[in-house]
Structure 1
Amino acid sequence: MSAASASFGWLGIIRLGLVQTSLGAIVILMTSTLNRVMVVELGLAAAIPGLLVGWHYAVQMSRPRWGYGADTGGRRAPWIMGGMAVLALGAISAAFAASLIPSNFWGGFLLSVLAYALIGAGVGAAGTNLLALLAIRTEPSRKAAAAAIVWIMMIMGFVLTAGIGGGFLKPFSFERLILVTSVVSAIALAVTFLALRGLEAGALAQPVRAQATSAETSFRAALRETWADPQARRFTVFVFVSMLAYSAQDLILEPFAGLVHGYDAGSSTQLAGVQNIGTLAGMILTAVAGTVIGKSRAGFMRAWTVGGCIASAAALLALGLGTHAMGADWPLVPNVIALGVANGAFAVAAIGSMMTLASAGAKQREGTRMGLWGAAQAIAFGLGGFLGAAAVDIARAFTDTPAPAFALVFAAEGLTFLVAAALALRVGETAVDSQRLPALPSHEFLAVRSGEVP
């Protein structure tokens, strides 16, 4: 079978994007809707849903194991489908657990802990192997566009569920919450099944031959081998640092708009929407540029990753220092749009680089590599929001007005993005030389022969 026949066309990429849409549709119910229900309808401390969301990120440290399992089996679709089923079970269990809390707090809370563990495991198994499959079967010139498509389609899942599902939750009741969660999960599973059906037909499924006597030992060997690769290790550190900077702004942008610029709740929510529009614009811009320019220019995604990090740093520094200098007269909306565009460009280029590097090794370790980077991302997201909010609280304790405190934290986030840019440049120092690689299966060789590996 030729490499070309093993590569996805645009339809195959869109089909995987539908799976990502389904994943996003379930996840948004857990990280947004259920978070609000616990704080508002149940009157719980915000730390409780925050702890549960953090727990689901912690469980995703298991991502390398899920990726390795698919590496050894040679097929990704069963792991993606299984992960989505576990995610759906966790979501329905979490909705049911919330309904128990008014009458049995500890019973509901403990069931929530189990449910969010299932959510983390499901997201890890499905998300890791989805990206690994995309990395294996996508031509290098399409990787930036493919990354943008699947992420944009995931955001579509957020939007559709928030709009349509939110409508069916009115008037609110726990029975409606369980019903809406069950229906969304059932639709997501059906879409995933149809999207994956026959998608791996023609794939080159060649399981890794385990060298150790036990699966656990061979997994540890695979993880050590992956970490020993300078490219993989450097990229893991880059993913952690960049995603730490990326997520640290999540919980403080709206409070910043309210406390410093006088925005009311509705206006600050709209500001977040404006940022998301900028993020989508940045993703689309990178995808188009990657398709047009990336076909003929090596290192395209690395350059856009570095540029996106630098632009994000500049936007964050302007946000904090500009407001500190000019107060409410600073043009907040254009600044936030610029931040969104820079974040979108960086995110898509980084994911495209991730997909390229995942298939650049001499063995079939795409899932293990993608799992390692997914675990680093999950840890960063779990820490980022908390550290950003905590840093603002600490800084405000030493200032009379909130503007200097936010300026200091935004500046720290900007500097973190600059560190990430420097790390991204170092990843490119040991680029794969396709001429020195041993013979690879054709679908792996396709990913490195063009010389576009950062």
Structure 2
Amino acid sequence: MTLSWVQIIRLGLVQMALGAIVVLTTSTLNRLMVVEFALPALLPGALVGLHYGIQLSRPRWGFTSDTGGNRTRWIIGGMVALAIGGIGAAFGVTLFTMSFSLALAISVLSYALIGLGVGASGTSLLALLATATAPDRRAAAASITWLMMIFGIAMTAGLAGQFLDPYSPQRLLSVVTVIAIAAMLLTILAVGRIETGVTCTHEPDTTSFMDGLRDIWAEPKTRNFTLFVFLSMNAYFMQELILEPYAGLVFNFTPGESTTLSGAQNGGVFLGMLTVGTVATGLKIGTLRAWVVGGCIGSGSALSLICLTGIIPTPFNFTHLVIALGFFNGMFAVAAIGAMMALASEGRRRREGTRMGLWGAAQAIAAGFGGLTGAVLVDLARTIAPDGQAFGLVFAFEALLFLAAALMAARVIGTARVPENASMVPGE
């Protein structure tokens, strides 16, 4: 027995819970450190980089859940660690005005827990989806769960933004605690009893972890796609830690307004993903490669215009440009996921999970490196230029990375369309 559409959507709720906690730690807390507490952007960049760096363990978490025979416990246990880390990170931020060393120690421990939680819960969840979903539903299942995660991010950012103003440490802790506890409860209810009712479609791979990793790295397609993931995700995440500070420093957004802006951006991501899912999957228009390239070029163009808004008067609305950036980011991301699902089954058999783990690790490295690089470049640029120009230089550099990713995608991604049987609309 494989996962039904209802069960796939239930697992998507876990992805939604993951995104709800992570968006607060990577966006809201980061903005508070840079704007309200006047800390260098390098600090939140390093903390977020730590949480992504710990996610290098993703292939090992996938291997552990494969051999352990109980993915549910790792999904729930990881979510508990993530929730505790999220609450701890918020508490750490409130202490920076009283004791920098204590606040830093709590923040480091909390972001480490966040990385462990996301790695354990997220990887085990994807492993359960990969092994318990019928082959003709895998692409649709990945798209549905990803869209639900983005929806959770956008909804949380929007709602949290409404409750954070006027800002106070007590209000921050209350908002984060409520979201973290809700995410834990939702995960327990959503994933409960699913694993016991399905039969995995793949037998466990008895090859050792390192031997399996060497096997797939020897495959040119896998290796080249890994490099594409690293480059494109660098571009995707470089603005993650600096967009809200940019809104606060250049456009005078309040903490609540900048958190709402993050929600609007992720709303754009959701619409971009939904557009590709509807047009490419439902209407069979365009190839995955064309959607990836178009999304990368559109993202670079939106970043170029965002760069100009902080330097010279333009007729463009800053919030609308951020939504456009999210839309093209969503186009690129969901098409890249489709290409990833297609490539995961190519090459040596019974290595799908290892390939997904490798690409997940490449994404984690790029996310941490890209976010940290953006923060460091902004700090350096602000020493020699006004805020608008300093942030604009980094956005312009990110736009160039997106154009480079578009060129690479044109070379490494095939021209395959979404499979005919991979409808995103649950029909059973």
SS of the residue aligned with 1:329?
coil
SS of the residue aligned with 2:200?
coil
Which is worse superposed, 124-133 or 172-181? 172-181
1:134 to 129, 132, 137: 129
Report if aligned partners of 1:67, 1:370 keep a CA contact under 8 Å in 2. no
Separation in 2, partners of 1:40, 1:183: 24
Code of the aligned partner of 2:368: G
| Structure 2 partner of 1:385 | 371
Give the superposition deviation at 1:161. 4.0
Code of the aligned partner of 1:350: A
Matched positions, count: 418
| Structure 2 partner of 1:241 | 231
Report if aligned partners of 1:144, 1:301 keep a CA contact under 8 Å in 2. no
User: Residues 361-372 of structure 1: matches in 2 within 5 Å?
Assistant: 362-372=348-358
| Structure 2 partner of 1:265 | 253
Code of the aligned partner of 2:200: L
Please state if 1:428 is matched with 2:413: yes
| Structure 2 partner of 1:19 | 14
Report if aligned partners of 2:50, 2:112 keep a CA contact under 8 Å in 1. yes
| Structure 2 partner of 1:441 | none
1:112 to 100, 107, 121: 107
Give the superposition deviation at 1:409. 4.2
| Deviations, residues 215-251 of structure 1 (Å, cap 9, x unaligned) | xxx2222222232222222221111111111122334
Separation in 1, partners of 2:415, 2:112: 37
Give the superposition deviation at 1:58. 1.2
1:280 to 264, 267, 270: 270
Query: Which entry has the higher C-alpha Rg, 1 or 2?
Result: 1
Separation in 1, partners of 2:293, 2:222: 17
CA distance 1:361–1:306, change in 2 (3 Å): same
Report if aligned partners of 1:63, 1:124 keep a CA contact under 8 Å in 2. yes
User: Residues 15-414 of structure 1: matches in 2 within 5 Å?
Assistant: 15-35=10-30, 46-73=41-68, 76-95=71-90, 97=92, 105-138=100-133, 145-162=140-157, 181-200=176-195, 201-204=197-200, 206-211=202-207, 218-253=208-243, 263-265=251-253, 274-294=264-284, 300-317=287-304, 320=307, 327-333=312-318, 335-360=321-346, 362-391=348-377, 409-414=394-399
Give the superposition deviation at 1:377. 1.5
| Sequence identity (%) | 53
Report if aligned partners of 1:301, 1:352 keep a CA contact under 8 Å in 2. yes
Separation in 1, partners of 2:259, 2:86: 25
Report if aligned partners of 2:76, 2:121 keep a CA contact under 8 Å in 1. yes
Report if aligned partners of 1:307, 1:421 keep a CA contact under 8 Å in 2. yes
Code of the aligned partner of 1:29: L
CA distance 1:270–1:188, change in 2 (3 Å): closer
Separation in 2, partners of 1:269, 1:176: 14
Separation in 2, partners of 1:99, 1:369: 40
Which is worse superposed, 182-191 or 220-229? 182-191
| Deviations, residues 410-453 of structure 1 (Å, cap 9, x unaligned) | 4432332232223323333598xxxxxxxxxxxxxxx999899x
Please state if 1:415 is matched with 2:400: yes
SS of the residue aligned with 2:129?
helix
CA distance 1:74–1:29, change in 2 (3 Å): same
Give the superposition deviation at 1:36. 5.2
Report if aligned partners of 1:279, 1:343 keep a CA contact under 8 Å in 2. yes
CA distance 1:141–1:289, change in 2 (3 Å): farther
Separation in 1, partners of 2:262, 2:163: 23
TM-score relative to the length of structure 2: 0.79
Give the superposition deviation at 1:159. 4.5
| Deviations, residues 356-382 of structure 1 (Å, cap 9, x unaligned) | 333445443333322222222122222
CA distance 1:98–1:429, change in 2 (3 Å): closer
Unaligned runs of 5+ in 1: 212-217, 432-446
CA distance 1:22–1:424, change in 2 (3 Å): same
Separation in 1, partners of 2:94, 2:261: 32
Which is worse superposed, 44-53 or 168-177? 168-177
Report if aligned partners of 1:131, 1:355 keep a CA contact under 8 Å in 2. no
Unaligned runs of 5+ in 2: 424-428
Code of the aligned partner of 2:302: A
CA distance 1:239–1:55, change in 2 (3 Å): same
CA distance 1:320–1:225, change in 2 (3 Å): same
Separation in 2, partners of 1:322, 1:169: 26
Give the superposition deviation at 1:63. 1.1
CA distance 1:278–1:407, change in 2 (3 Å): same
CA distance 1:270–1:196, change in 2 (3 Å): closer
Code of the aligned partner of 1:388: G
Separation in 1, partners of 2:79, 2:100: 28
Report if aligned partners of 1:145, 1:288 keep a CA contact under 8 Å in 2. no
TM-score relative to the length of structure 1: 0.75
